[in-house]
Amino acid sequence: MMVSLRTLRHFSVLAEERHYSRAALRLHLTQSALSRSIQALEDSLDVQLLDRSASGLALTPAGRAVLEHAHRVLQEADALHRRVESLHGIETGDVAMGAGVFPAAGFLSPLLTRLARDYPGICMRVEIESWQRLHEMLVRDSLDFVVAITHSLPPSSDFLLRPLPPQHIGLFVRAGHPLLAVGHRSLRAALADYRLAATHLPPRARNQLAALYRLPHSDALPLALECNSVDTLLTVALNSDVVMLCVREAIREPLAAGGIVQLPLAYSSEAELGCNIIHHARRELSPPALKVVSLIEDLMHAGASGMPGGPGDAIALLEKQESAD
């Protein structure tokens, strides 16, 4: 009986996706090639791994047992690969990382540019997702590490955290927006007349925004746009009267240029959000991964040191102006 790592990996991805077309897309295979690979694995083991029906795919009892062993075998194979990479030093190797939408907007482009220019032997795979989704990938051991804002789902003791500079969340509008002419004491009431642009929001964030808008339920939020692209949100905010929910670190350049302005409103009591690099405690990062981590830390700290003032400065200035009137 010969079972290859390749077919085990195919089976693992298919078991995760429970859908041939999605699994084939992830594996860069045709559906027919994936089907042949799974059939070869079943023939080799002389068991049926999957129940196929109109409602989808389900693991058989044998399939669940094989998947458990496949995960262990693949993890050991990946550990061996990382160990061999470490013998080659930091100049070559594969790195799989995840990043939350907001942190990625602040560091990802300069990071990948630096790697492409100075470390051509390091091959990157990047997943930009919500922290909840990235957490699932870490649990499955499909990523080396993740950069994310983690307050909505604190990692367990199974993971190690490397703290990064905090991210500062707030509401932003274009320069010249009508809300910027409203006095601080009236601003919260005036906010209700303008729609929101935001990333896909977890329930906790929706509830905080509903409280800010003085709404009884988050379903009533005036959302004009939900999109996990900070560049798209920024473009819409710069060319309309929507109010954008974002972190300052993700839009530092237009903030510094004055094209986008933070409203002097506290989004919540947690306007400063913890950001971390997270990886599995039992996973030893390879030299290429450690190099990428070091570059991220440098970029994030450099970005934090160059940030313009936050909402507290704006609130203090408005209150000073109003007291003088």
Question: How many separate domains does the chain show?
Answer: 3
Q: How far apart are CA 238 and CA 315, in angstroms?
A: 22
Same domain, residue pair 227 and 288: no
Give tens-digit pLDDT for 244-274.
999 999 999 999 999 999 998 877 555 688 8
Give tens-digit pLDDT for 111-127.
999 999 998 889 999 99
Same domain, residue pair 59 and 178: no
User: For 182, what's the count of Cα atoms within 13 Å in the CB-facing half-sphere?
Assistant: 18
Same domain, residue pair 184 and 246: yes
- Sorting pLDDT into bands at 50, 70 and 90, what band is 181? very high
Tell me the residue range of the domain where 138 lies: 86-166+274-305
Contacts of 136 (CB under 8 A, 6+ apart): none
Boundary residue ending a domain (85, 109, 133):
85
Q: Which of 58-67, 174-183, 297-306, 309-318 has the lowest mean pLDDT?
A: 309-318
Q: How far apart are CA 245 and CA 213, in angstroms?
A: 13
SS3 274: strand
Angle between helices 31-45 and 5-17 (to 10 degrees): 110
CATH of the domain at 51: 1.10.10.10
Same domain, residue pair 74 and 186: no
Same domain, residue pair 188 and 318: yes
When pLDDT is averaged across residues 101-114 and rounded to a whole number, the result is 94
Percent of the chain with pLDDT over 90: 47
- Sorting pLDDT into bands at 50, 70 and 90, what band is 308? low
Q: Which of 77-91, 233-247, 292-306 has the lowest mean pLDDT?
A: 77-91
Same domain, residue pair 109 and 129: yes
Mean pLDDT, the chain, rounded, equals 86
- Sorting pLDDT into bands at 50, 70 and 90, what band is 305? low
CATH of the domain at 176: 3.40.190.10
Same domain, residue pair 123 and 136: yes
When pLDDT is averaged across residues 204-211 and rounded to a whole number, the result is 87
Percent of the chain with pLDDT over 70: 88
Residue 321's pLDDT is what? 36
- Sorting pLDDT into bands at 50, 70 and 90, what band is 85? low
